[in-house]
Each structure stands twice: as C-alpha cells, then as structure tokens.
Chain A
C-alpha cells in the first residue's frame, strides 16, 4: 500500500512552502561541513549541560541524551492560530468535564458517555467526589498531542492531563538553536517561547486562593526519567524542587523542612502519579509521597497541580467522547478533529479491529510512552498474531485507530537530509485564563518509516517555530 505523506517543508510538487523559504535558502547557502560541526557542538553542549532523560530497564546508560535535530519544524501563524484555539477549546471542555464528573455528573445523566466507562475506570478517584477546587480547575497543565494526516489536517492523538512532560526540551531546543544559528533568528521572526516558566508560575499561583502562595515542584527524585525537567522548571520559576521526604503534614497543613525550620507550602506542582502521592491514602508502599497529603488537600489547605483524578479524562477509552464534551459543555463545534477510534470493549467494533489488524494502530487504554502498542502496517505476521491473542484475552483494555500517515519534516540523518515523521505537543496552561506559548514540542521518529516518536523508542526532538505567513 502506498501512502501519501504531508511534508511540512515541501508541497506535493516538491516546491518549498512559503513559510520555509527563509530557512531553505539559509540551508542551501550554508556549507555542509559547517552544519555538521554545529551539530557536533550541539551534542557536546547538551551533554555538558546534562540535558538527559533516563530510560527504564536500561542498567548501562541510565542517562541518555535525547537526539536533537537542527532543522526546525515551522508552522505558519495563521495555521497556529487555529491549533491554538482548538487546544484551548479542548482543554476548557476537559476541565469542565472533570468538574462535572466529580460533582453533578450531568454528562452521564444526559447519556452522552456511558456511566460504566467512567465510574468503573480505575483512574476515577472517589476521594475527589464533591470536592470543590479553586476556580474549578483540574488540569492546570495539559499536553495535547497532535499529528497531521496525508492532506495536512491536524488530528488530536491524545490528551495528557496527568503529568505531561517535554516542555524543558521545547525550551532547551530553542536556546540551542539560538546559540548555534543566531543568524537564522535575525533573518526571520520566530515567535518567542522563553516566557513559558513565567506563565507556568502565574498559572500555579492563580490556582491557590492564598495571596502570593508558596509554590514547590514535587519530583519522585533524580532517578526519574524526567528529573532533568523537574529541576529545570523549578529553577526557571525560582521555586523549591522538593522530594516527598522534604515535606510533612501537620494539622492538615503541608510544610517543608528548611534550614530555618518548617515553612508552609500552598501549591504543589507535582510530577508524581496519583498512586504515589500519599502512602496513607493510595499505594502504601510508596516512599515517594507525603503521608497525610490527601487529607490536607481535601481540607483545601494545599493545591495540587494537576488535581488528583484527572487521569479519567485522558484515558484512551474516554478520548472518543471529547468532541461530544466540547459540544455538550461549550455548545461549540470542535476545532480540532479526533482520530476515528474503535473501542474494542464493544463486540462489533472488536470484530472489525480483529479483521483489520494489519492496517490499524492498537493501543492500551492505560498505556503511555509508546509501550504496549501495535502498529499494524509496520509489524510482522508473528507480531500481529501475538498481539491478537493479547487483544482477545482482554479487549476492554484496548482501542484501535486507523494508521495515520503522520506528516514528515526534513531531518538530518546519517545519509544526509531525509524526511522523518513528526508530531506536535503544545502545552496548555489553565489559571485565570487558558493559554499557551506559540509552538510546543516537536518529536521526530528518527528511524526511517517509523511512526513512533517517543523518546523511549528512539525518537528525537526539533525546535518548533511559529512564523508569520
């Protein structure tokens, strides 16, 4: 089967798209040796700065560099405006959905989402039932994963409402590009993104009713895959980076242990899953959390960002209903499209999926990071049969989608410059208002033909530009 791909830089006739003109002529004029030398410089700088991630299950190289590609992904401003509005609309609806779910459950009563889909979901947190959050915000920080199909249409692949990561790469990639190729930025106006940490801090502050609240970033520790990012954000915001053991709860208030004695904490930007937050309330074996945190949270004495129990809204089995949520809560038509999705828990849809496994992408509803998924067209017969057995054993745990072509962007590879598939994750912040910085994180699948962009699966990143048309 031949597929047509949408290339970000060249149209179907091989002509450079207008918003890439500046870059293309620069690329043509710059000698290849100079580019190669700058790329080596980038590697060295990333290594020195220790901008790394940790790969689980890899004893040897616990710290790895994420490959950084020096050809940017560029988005024309008019197109970005649409993506931006679409993301804001989506995240607003998701926050309204969570508020509704943990209060009146209007959407269930209206029969738009089947009750059992939500209430039997293990991410649904009973502890959140009836709890009023300041401004009714659940997902203060959201990452919306977008891809483009063959004709260039944007699709939302998934919403990340728990602890979406990657924003540090977005910021570091830009810094690196500006350091390596300042002339590019002089020639073309690229929308700045460096104020993200500022927006994040004001978002976190506005999540608390307290005046000038004390904000901290809670990390599972330096062995976590995203530790670099936790430390990075804490530093950029100028707030404390804490581990569970640095915090304690007294009289339902949270304090941190400091050299000058205990100090109250008002907002916790936690990069720790629900299950590990409080050993008294959730996983009792967790050494990462803070005993008593949930009771302090329920008393309204501390804000968690994101809230507990947001996972129920970004679960892949809820994903098909997001467009309905937008219509239900906002009375608007969705700006961004969903990928058509078959829910394997429905026997009719399951049999369709089983009959077409070679053409579909099948994912676990709870999975993340590109683990435990099947990309039909890229898999062998044996792999497909093995997956079929797992799917039949527990169909409720899977959804299936058509294999999108995913747009490509020219990328430096060993043989020179070649197209590689990319996606886009803009980061959406919700405080007094919902907003985002222009662009997001572009991930690129470095293996030829691969559609999996996750860093744990050999993906890299690119700087993402929003440029005037």
Chain B
C-alpha cells in the first residue's frame, strides 16, 4: 500500500476517534456542570476541563477573554477556527477519507461524507437549538456507524490494519488524558481511596459513563466507583474495550501482521508496552503516583505513534 494512502487511512480514523472522544469529554463535563457545585462557581471549571485536556484553554481565553458557558461549548464543539474542535476533527476525517475514497468501501465513504454534511447543518443551527446532549450522542452514533460500516464491509488487508492503528493510538491517548484530568480535578478527594463523598461518586461515574464503561464497572467491582478501581479498570483490564491495555493489545497484534521489516522498532515498542501492562498491578501504579504514571504513559503512546509514522507513513 502507498505510504500516503496508509497515512490518510490512519489519520481518517484517528480524527474520527478523536471526535468521538471529544464528544465523550464534553458529555461528562456538561452533565457534571449541571450538578450542584458546592460553592465552586457555576460549573465553569467543569466546562473548562475539556479545553484544558485538549490544550486549547489559552487560545480560547485569548479570543474570548473569560470563561463563558455557551461560548466554551461552542468553541469546543463547533468552532471552525479551533483546529481541535469536533467540527474540525470531522472535517479533517472527511478530508482524509476523500483522499483515499478509492481505498475505502462505498458504505464507509457515504457514511463519513454524510456525517460531515450533517455536521455543517448542525453548525449552522448552533448547539443551543440542536441540544448539547443530543449533539454528543449524535457524534458517538456517527462514529459507531462508521466503525460498523468499516467492520462489516472492508477487506481484511493493510487498509483495515492502518485504520485500526489510528483508532487505538488515539483511543489510548484519550483514555489516559481523561483519567488524568478527572483525577487532577478531584484533588485531595481522590486520594481518599474509599471515597464515599457524593462528589467523588458522581465524578467517577460520569467518567465511566462517558467511556461507556459504567456497566462493565458495576459488573466487575459491584460497588460505588473509587479512584483505584476505576484506574485499574481503565488502565489494566484487557477486556474493557476503551482501556489502555486493550488498546495496546490491539496495537501490538496489528503491527505484527504488517508486511516489511521497517516496522520492527514500532512492533517492539508496542509489544514491550503491552507486556508491561500485562504484568503490572494497580498497587504499583498508585505507588508511583497516578498522575506521574499517566504522564509517563502519555509520552510512551506518543512515541509509539511516532514510530508507526516513521516506519510506514512516510517511508521512502
């Protein structure tokens, strides 16, 4: 496969996965901002969180001056000038798909093209009229549909592999960042491991719901969510599809199947990361300190992404 094609496929699915994760981020923050804030303001901190996670808070402040609920939501979701907005991610995904429309199935192309056309319609309407929760649901649904069309129609070849590489690199990064941000925001509260405060409960369950992992959690732990168990599930469980370990398992398996020898550094890196997670317990993670551990892994995942890039996507 052409390196450029592989790159377009990879970024197409990365951007789409990113749009989905941004919607998940937005969903959790928006629903928490509607809770009583115990004297912490009008939920603005909460709404600023997605901007912090994506590193766009500064740019937002420069352009809009103050934290303002509606403007923040709009900036994060629909702003065509904000390259990290959901709008721009869908645009980029569609643009990558357009470049490789000969290599994806008609079902996939029609799906992603329709998403983009509808996105433009929603941007014209504005979030106020469309509805915040409905919008987040819509983004997730379009992403699910695309995944379904991909899974159901594309040949199991290199194209499928690069599409999936993009998904799991992006998802691994997003899960790490979401967990990190939530943990940060809880501050000292988070360390009271058997946190029984209402606030902790809602924080963690909102995160689990945003990651579609609430059901898995109740089934696995049969109790109110707390920091250690949430972290264990989202980092180390191989059977929870949005966990870090699940993503690395997929990445390692996909990389091994790719042809050519130029991928060895990336293959080795993925296998090592996967093995480390497999033999790590949550006590070790907490001993390092959750934030430090997460920061280290965000870096590792980024390096894996770079290794994939230099091995396949810009090959000479």
Contacts and interface: CB of A to CB of B under 8 A. Distances in A.
A332 interface: no
Contact of A259 (B109, B113, B312): B312
A262 B259 contact: no
Interface residues of B, number: 27
A231 B100 CA distance: 8
Contacts of B4: 243, 245-246, 257
Nearest to A63: B98
B16 to A, nearest CB: 16
A365 B66 CA distance: 62
Given A48-B113, A49-B106, A50-B98, A258 B2 contact: yes
A256 B258 CA distance: 18
Interface in A217-268: 222, 231-232, 234-235, 240-243, 245-246, 256-262
Nearest to B98: A222
Contacts of B158: 259
A416 B313 CA distance: 53
B181 interface: no
A256 B6 CA distance: 13
A115 interface: no
B275 interface: no
Contacts of A241: 5, 102-103
Contacts of B258: 259
Given A49-B106, A235-B103, A259 B114 contact: no
B106 to A, nearest CB: 7
Contact of B6 (A47, A242, A259): A259
A309 B312 CA distance: 37
B113 A50 contact: yes
B257 to A, nearest CB: 12
B109 A246 contact: no
B106 A259 contact: no
Nearest to B258: A259
Contacts of B113: 48-50
B289 interface: no
A246 B316 CA distance: 9
A257 B101 contact: no
A240 B101 contact: no
A48 B110 contact: yes
Contact of B315 (A222, A234, A235, A261): A261
Nearest to B162: A259
Contacts of A231: 101-102
B260 interface: yes
A246 B313 CA distance: 11
A242 B259 contact: no
B306 interface: no
B262 interface: yes
Interface of A is mostly: mixed
Nearest to B111: A48
B218 interface: no
B1 interface: yes
B312 A232 contact: no
A246 B117 contact: no
Interface string A423-461: 000000000000000000000000000000000000000
B153 interface: no
A257 B315 contact: yes
B261 to A, nearest CB: 9
B3 interface: yes
Query: DSSP majority for the B interface?
Result: helix
B2 A240 contact: yes
Interface in B101-153: 101-103, 106, 109-110, 113-114, 117
A222 B101 CA distance: 10
Residue in B4, B106, B162, B312 with the greatest tally of chain A CB atoms within 10 Å? B4
Q: Which of A49, A243, A245, A262 has the most CB of B within 10 A?
A: A49
A432 to B, nearest CB: 27
B248 to A, nearest CB: 21
Given A48-B114, A261-B260, A246 B102 contact: no
Nearest to B314: A257
A231 B98 CA distance: 9
Contacts of A235: 101-103
Nearest to B316: A257
B102 A259 contact: no
A59 to B, nearest CB: 15
Most chain A beta-carbon neighbours within 10 Å: one of B98, B162, B313: B98
A338 to B, nearest CB: 38
Nearest to B1: A259
Interface string B157-185: 01000100000000000000000000000
B260 A260 contact: yes
Contact of B259 (A47, A50, A232, A259): A259
A383 B4 CA distance: 48
A50 B3 contact: no
A439 B148 CA distance: 38
A240 B110 CA distance: 21
A241 B103 CA distance: 9
A341 B303 CA distance: 67
B99 interface: yes
A245 B101 CA distance: 18
A188 B12 CA distance: 43
B274 to A, nearest CB: 22
A261 B259 CA distance: 10
Contact of A261 (B5, B106, B110, B262): B262
A260 B102 contact: no
A42 B117 CA distance: 17
Contacts of B315: 257-259, 261
Contacts of A257: 2-4, 315-316
A114 B313 CA distance: 53
A256 B103 CA distance: 16
Contacts of A240: 2, 5
Contacts of A256: 2
Nearest to A44: B114
Contacts of A245: 4
Nearest to A228: B101
Contacts of B316: 257, 262
B6 A49 contact: no
Interface in A407-421: none
Nearest to A235: B102
Contacts of B259: 259-260
Nearest to B114: A48
Interface of A: 47-50, 222, 231-232, 234-235, 240-243, 245-246, 256-262
Given A49-B109, A234-B102, 4 more contacts: A50-B98, A222-B98, A259-B313, A260-B259
27 contacts: A48-B114, A48-B117, A49-B109, A49-B110, A50-B98, A50-B101, A50-B110, A50-B113, A222-B99, A231-B101, A232-B102, A235-B101, A235-B103, A245-B4, A246-B2, A246-B3, A246-B4, A256-B2, A257-B2, A257-B315, A257-B316, A258-B2, A259-B6, A259-B259, A260-B259, A261-B262, A261-B315
What are the nearest 3 A-B pairs in CB distance?
Answer: A235-B102, A260-B260, A231-B102
